[in-house]
A and B are shown apart, each in its own frame.
Chain A
């Protein structure tokens, strides 16, 4: 009964999405005052409620492990801890698509409820577009990926969840990314709405900006969490592998970062109109292309869950319709939209445009590298593209972008003279050059990490320069957000450069009582013992690790064997200090009672993820700042309106005088 309720709610929501789409586009054609327009906002809100109900039903089915439902039987198990039963709801294709439409419908409901700044006609088009996108995903769910399908005969136990995914970080990682993807779908709908009604205004950018910022914060957190998960769970010691699925989350982030900055220009300077629209379309298309690459299985990846060509075809059709449609609309309409206000090259806008171009170039590089194997496979050549391509080629565009990131916020809008910020520029350049000279004299270091560290040190100071000679208490939250986000980038950059420059690695075979050293650490294998968990058994090494002469810490890396489904995983053990991490993995028996141990000392590696969190925090601050600003502005306008109508009523102003 629960499953049937959920399915019924889903069908109703789909019907409402269809209504919302039709009503939206009819109202756009009819113009202001169409009667059918009254349906759009209620349909959107009701749809949000229904899908949320449907998702709650699926959560419930997983909570009680109803094995007569195919999805539960295939992805859950009676013996699994409750938290992982619940996370199993979205740890599979059907459930994750339902989560996707849930978030999307909730976002649509929210815009319908609160967004009144834009011309009503643009809102009809926006909500119509949002309904159309949602409709495609409803069709996908209901026609080819029904999460509520029953089994003819209930299963006995269930088939388990991939043990690699039984991890709290990973239970939260996919939903975080979905929030990001869906936030970009809202930006897409706004862009389509604005194109359809030819109304690309600063108000449009202000309406879109919180969604882009929110999506960007979630993407940042999702990527950071995913990177940390890959780091400690896969046991390979790396934190980014340029895997297609990782790239699939990075590409929307790059596009969203560019969109964020160009929307800022549009909001405050009314420039870069077509470019912002273009990025709105591109950002969402990156989310969909990423989803397509992961789900269709046309690229081989460690993440290849839920691979099915039929699903691939479905997503490809949706992709063609939405993105192809939007790009066609763009090609037809964009030349009727004027580019907006002009600005000089040395200005805040100029710096932002430069960074937009660099971000787009990096995006193109990542996209090309990700799709390249697909291209060569069409000619029967199998290649894999990895760090030797992505790292140097990406760095060519990343480094100049970082330099401009340090300087850009110091420039004034519209036009500025470089010699006005002479001293700041000199300080920035001096810091970088000093760091390069010192580092290359003191340590042996490769070129890219050297540049990374030097830029990181320079930028750490430069990112706070926009606060100079201002009263700290009067700086708006959005500016603090920018400063913090830029500082987060430098923190992560220093972590990355330090990890790649100074990491040390040891692969040893030890028997109990023997020691090995890695960097400043001395690691002793005390014992190897078997341990058992609720659905796994493992061999566990007991290590005592001593940093220099300090007190030893105990580490317990495990090699786990799960039995439903049978799979081996490594649980690395970490010891974190302020200046880095010791990373230990236990491997196979090496004969004569010895075990393989892989040890890494990674100085300042944790800065990578702290940096990610700081970036996200900056985004949150900026989001709060902009929302508060908008509320204040709305309040002020309302008061002005009231004042005016009062004055009118009192007859103080005559019609002519007001003109």
Chain B
């Protein structure tokens, strides 16, 4: 009889072992865009700040690789990544922004406070362009080559260690 009393403990130990093993496994919960490796979908967006420049997908096919940064003034990680975007710009990267569900005055205030590394910022009020290029949140950064092809996707805020990776991806895209 008494060995049966150990069964629950054995089953439980098995569960703990399995759960512990799974916890140590790297978990891939990032949803990568299926658009990577494809051409940028067609879009035209009005400027996100007054007297700014509008952007369109055609602008990207002029031979210069660029970073396309999806962000918003209401997003906290975007504040965290602002200095690293500026560093990328100083290293020679050309950065185009798309502001998601934002107001011109908020965008202007954000740029005044945290710096403006962008050559132009488009305004995507309904997240339409964001969804079309397969981005599921802010911030995200895409590397677009000189022919308007999406080469690389970075999900989440850019951290110091991501800067060289993005520069390398830009170089691979032909900068």
Contacts and interface: CB of A to CB of B under 8 A. Distances in A.
A335 B76 CA distance: 58
B30 interface: no
Given A330-B5, A563-B101, A324 B18 contact: no
Contacts of B74: 157, 563-564
A298 B22 contact: yes
Interface string A411-424: 00000000000000
Interface stretch (B7-15, B57-65, B157-165): B7-15
Interface in A390-424: none
Given A298-B27, A324-B9, A566 B22 contact: no
B12 A323 contact: yes
B127 interface: yes
Contacts of B19: 292, 296, 298, 316, 374
Nearest to B136: A566
A627 interface: no
Nearest to A333: B5
A309 B18 contact: no
Interface string A335-371: 1000000000000000000000000000000000001
> Range of interface residues on chain A?
35 or more
Main secondary structure of the interface of A (DSSP, over half): helix
Contact of A334 (B5, B22, B100): B5
Nearest to A328: B9
Interface string B1-32: 11001101100110110111111010101000
B20 A378 contact: no
A566 B100 contact: yes
A297 B9 contact: no
B126 interface: yes
A285 interface: yes
B27 to A, nearest CB: 7
A234 interface: no
Contacts of A312: 23
B39 to A, nearest CB: 24
A331 B27 contact: no
Given A289-B15, A324-B9, A561-B126, A296 B23 contact: yes
Interface residues of B, number: 27
Contacts of B29: 297, 300, 307
A313 interface: yes
A319 interface: yes
Contacts of B22: 298, 374, 377-378
A73 B75 CA distance: 12
A429 interface: no
A159 interface: yes
Interface in A270-327: 278, 281-282, 285, 289, 292, 296-298, 300, 307, 309, 312-313, 316, 319-320, 323-324, 327
Interface of B: 1-2, 5-6, 8-9, 12-13, 15-16, 18-23, 25, 27, 29, 74, 76, 100-101, 126-127, 137-138
22 contacts: A73-B76, A155-B76, A159-B76, A289-B15, A296-B19, A297-B27, A298-B22, A309-B27, A313-B23, A316-B20, A324-B13, A327-B8, A327-B12, A330-B5, A331-B5, A331-B6, A331-B8, A331-B9, A335-B5, A374-B19, A378-B18, A565-B137
Closest 9 CB pairs of A and B: A327-B9, A331-B5, A563-B101, A335-B2, A331-B6, A298-B22, A334-B5, A327-B8, A312-B23
